[in-house]
């Protein structure tokens, strides 16, 4: 065979190999840079959605106990997606999995107990289980987050610690020179866990429970403590107590805030540290039954 023909065939093979190499390199660069960036953007958007859902959930539950006489027994339903995974059905069109970011997942759970609120007065000590609703992310490209609804507050936990995103139902203020405390021990009752990437429903019902005894009145002092269950949440609750006093400009001599390993507390003595009854306590009943159900559907 003539040498010229051999050279032409060799050049075609080399050209094809070079073209294939350029294509593989382009796909590799896209996977290394573009796919993670898209996945990170999707997960950030989803975590913002989870934040909004927890905030909306807190507002909706507060509206139930504020209007308790009219809505006791009514079920409130909230829905959101656990992750950024694909829908149950997919439309037509060209879709290459290697060019798309992997979908994230998550787990939502509700549990009774876990944390407990203790209200102590000179005449009575009452421990109230708080329970919690929690979402734990399973992100692939963005920092993992844990969102917790507890006692009317929304808490965010990341690798750097726990912070308060929405304040719990606790107030400490000055009324005519005396200390006044109002607290709503939101009790979450339930036991459920769902994990995956699909949609879920959170069903919440306000229960008609007997009121707490001896937790409303005027006392010489009142101590409120939270057994948080871990150090990060205890730090967050310590900030809750401090901020409640600071935003109302309460004199530091009226109270003391402290924290143990997994416990935070505020001891309110009022303007008179003696036996004079100058601390008014008001406790609002808020008790919920919470369940979780899958909302998966073939219609998305």
For the chain, the structural domain boundaries read: 3-91+102-294
| pTM score over 0.85 | no
Q: 21 — phi, psi (to 5°)?
A: -65, -40
pLDDT at 96 over 70: no
Lowest mean pLDDT among 46-50, 74-78, 157-161, 256-260: 74-78
93: left (phi over 0), alpha (psi -120 to 50) or beta: left
pLDDT for position 173: 93
pLDDT at 1 over 70: no
What pLDDT band is residue 282 in, cutting at 50, 70 and 90? Answer: very high
pLDDT at 256 over 60: yes
Which residues on neighbouring strands pair with residue 149, listed in sequence order?
Answer: 133, 154
Rounded CA-CA distance 47/50 in Å is: 5
- For a pLDDT cut of 90, what percent of the chain falls above it? 42
Q: 223 — phi, psi (to 5°)?
A: -120, 130
């Amino acid at each position: 065979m003539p040498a010229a023909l051999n050279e032409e065939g060799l050049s075609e093979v080399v050209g094809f190999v070079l073209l294939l190499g350029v294509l593989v390199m382009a796909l590799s660069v896209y996977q290394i840079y573009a796919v993670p960036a898209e996945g990170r953007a999707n997960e950030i958007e989803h975590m913002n959605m989870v934040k909004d859902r927890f905030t909306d959930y807190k507002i909706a539950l507060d509206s139930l106990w504020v209007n308790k006489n009219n809505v006791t027994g009514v079920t409130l339903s909230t829905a959101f997606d656990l992750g950024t995974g694909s829908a149950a059905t997919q439309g037509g069109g060209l879709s290459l999995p290697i060019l798309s970011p992997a979908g994230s997942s998550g787990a939502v759970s509700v549990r009774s107990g876990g944390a407990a609120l203790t209200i102590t007065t000179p005449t009575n000590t009452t421990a109230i289980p708080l329970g919690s609703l929690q979402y734990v992310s399973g992100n692939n490209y963005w920092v993992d987050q844990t969102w917790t609804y507890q006692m009317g507050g929304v808490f965010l936990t990341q690798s750097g610690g726990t912070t308060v995103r929405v304040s719990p139902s606790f107030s400490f203020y000055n009324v005519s020179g005396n200390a006044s405390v109002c607290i709503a021990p939101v009790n979450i009752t339930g036991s459920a866990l769902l994990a995956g990437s699909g949609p879920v429903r959170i069903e919440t019902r306000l229960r008609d429970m007997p009121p707490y005894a001896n937790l409303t009145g005027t006392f010489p002092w009142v101590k409120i403590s939270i057994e948080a269950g871990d150090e990060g949440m205890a730090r967050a609750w310590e900030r809750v107590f401090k901020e409640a006093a600071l935003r109302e400009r309460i004199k530091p001599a009226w109270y003391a805030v402290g924290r143990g390993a997994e416990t935070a507390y505020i001891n309110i003595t009022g303007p008179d540290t003696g036996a004079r009854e100058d601390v008014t306590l008001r406790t609002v009943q808020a008790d919920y039954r919470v369940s979780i159900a899958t909302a998966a559907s073939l219609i998305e």
